[in-house]
Amino acid sequence: MKIAVIGGGSTYTPELLEGFFSLWQRLKPLKVSLYDINEEKLKIISEFLKRMIKKSNTEIEFSATLGLEEALKDADFIISQIRIGGLSARLQDESIPLKFGLLGQETTGPGGFANALRTIPVVLDIAKKIEKISPNAWLINFTNPSGIITETLSRYTKVKVLGLCNVAINLQNDLSSLLNVPMDDIFLDCFGLNHLTFTKRVFVRGKDVTEEVFKKIKEQVSRRISKKDKKIVETIKMFPNYYLQYYYFREEKIKELKKKPRRAKEVEKIEKILLKLYQDPDLNEKPKELSQRGGALYSTAAVNLISHLTGLQKGFQIINITNRGAISDLPEDSVVEMPVFIEKDRVQRCIIGKLPLEVRGTIQAVKAYEQLTIEAAVECSYRKALMALTQHPLVSSLTLAEKVLSKLIEANKKYFPKLS
């Protein structure tokens, strides 16, 4: 089996490789090929990964390349984890909206919009190569904004794509500590969009433990379960994705973000430290410093998905996938985040039905924003881009949308499609 990693030069890749060690035991022989456009980073990561593989006593056949075609050739799985424009573009996404009193965040609101406009043309180009070179491979998309990118690929290409995010698996992990049960025993009955999900019920080995969890959350606040999450739980009676803070506590979050250094700046520092560590010839396992990044457990999520799709195990997983009527209040062709049951190549959606009234408006508005953003990028439409931002719940103003869009276009000249 072969796994290709697009954006393999990311400092996150050692975490991914660690997950592949357990796959190797069950799927050998296993080839892993990294592709990146940044030669320097790719080299540093590759040398480090080779040491990790040696230490692991596995026989993973490893390669790294600056040629996408080479990485894609014979791939069974392709993992996409790219960031167009790197951290300097992320810094703009997090800074420009704040100047207008809007949310500056890399995946949510106008920052996520700019990220999408930069990324859509690139992933569509990559998809053309996948269609030609490895049409039967599964593409596992982590590239942000993950829901928007997965929907773009589902609507406009023939690539077999599923989107993943680490938020659901982290909630599962947190609840596993809260309830003192193994993570795999937990099932989350959740629905929504990427970074905008709600968990209605929690089950442990089929038993509904929602009320117990509500009670425990009421009693404690932890690193993961913040006061804001607690308040949301008490009000809407569902467990929120932590990105919901940006919607439900908008003013407070914007104030907080203005006071702090931008996350892109912090990540830049962490990356420097990581790259230095990775160059240490004596280092042969994932350093603890990597946990300062936000991607915890993304490797476990990817390995679970590969295990499900190859038939090594069957079970439920929360993924981003085309709706096809599972959520009746959202377009059929739109991508939603929800649990599915996977048994080899068969991916069965759970039926969610109608969205609860309390959250229906927000989800529908964000879905409309997402679809307009995709269409703006594909059709190079300024009007759709403007309307996407105008009706986003975190903007809701044509005047502000016009101002922020003009600055985002200026800052992203090199990357945005030519909007007219």
Q: Is 230:186 a contact under the CB 8 Å cutoff?
A: no
94/375 with CB nearer ligand G6P: 94
Asked if 346 and 311 touch (Cβ cutoff 8 Å), the reply is no
| Residue closest to 49 by CA, chosen among 167, 36, 142, 70 | 36
Closest distance of CB 419 from ligand G6P, Å: 25
Dist. CA 330–CA 363, nearest whole Å: 9
Q: Can you list the alpha helix ranges (DSSP code H) found in 138-249? A: 146-156, 167-179, 210-219, 227-236, 245-248
Chain residues in the site for ligand G6P (CB under 6 A): 107, 144, 165-167, 263, 267, 293-295
Is 186:172 a contact under the CB 8 Å cutoff? yes
The reply to whether 243 belongs to the active site is yes
| CA separation for the pair 399, 125 (Å, rounded) | 33
Which of the residues 35, 243, 246, 247 is marked catalytic?
243
Find the helix or strand (DSSP H, E) in which 347 lies. strand 346-349
CA separation (Å) from 154 to 9, 64, 334? 26, 28, 8
Considering the complex, what minimum distance in angstroms separates the CB of residue 328 from ligand G6P? Answer: 27
Q: Whose Cβ is closer to ligand G6P: residue 51's or residue 293's? A: 293
Residue 2 vs 253, nearer CB to ligand G6P: 253
| Contact partners, residue 132, CB within 8 Å, separation at least 6 | none
Nearer to ligand G6P, 8 or 295 (CB): 295
Nearer to ligand G6P, 107 or 373 (CB): 107
Query: What is the nearest approach in angstroms of ligand G6P to the Cβ of residue 368?
Result: 21
CA dist., res. 188 & res. 199, Å (int): 6
Continuous H helices in 57-195: 68-72, 86-99, 110-133, 146-156, 167-179
Smallest gap from residue 350 Cβ to ligand G6P (A): 21
Q: What residues act catalytically?
A: 243
